[in-house]
């Protein structure tokens, strides 16, 4: 019985991992970032674009919008560090 429960938990965890690492989640965060960028919530937009790139590093749109968002932020050390 315990073995079946552990197998079910393992399958659920693997499914969640795959779900959050797929391009679907990358697109979700990309669109969320674009919405935040249009609303001028730049720090939330940066976070969303970084999540999008973490889920799919080949997402060029997320890279483009991340750079565009960083250019809108006040130049500070933390912003300059992200661009390197």
Residue that the structure tokens 């997320």 belong to: 62
Is pLDDT at 74 greater than 80 in this prediction?
no
DSSP for 6-48 reads HHHHHHHHHHHHHHHTSHHHHHHHHHHHHHHHHTT-HHHHHHH
Q: Please, which pLDDT band fits residue 56 given cuts at 50, 70 and 90?
A: confident
The reported pTM is: 0.66
The larger pLDDT score, comparing residue 34 to residue 1, is at 34
pLDDT digits (tens, 9 = 90+) for 5-33: 889 999 998 877 776 666 568 888 999 99
């Amino acid at each position: 019985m315990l073995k079946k429960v552990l197998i079910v938990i393992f399958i659920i965890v693997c499914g969640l991992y795959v779900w959050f690492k797929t391009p679907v989640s990358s697109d979700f965060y990309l669109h969320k970032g674009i919405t935040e960028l249009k609303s001028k919530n730049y720090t939330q937009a940066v976070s969303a674009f970084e999540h999008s790139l973490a889920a799919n590093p080949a997402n060029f749109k997320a890279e483009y919008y991340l750079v565009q968002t960083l250019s809108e932020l006040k130049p500070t050390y933390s912003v300059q560090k992200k661009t390197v």
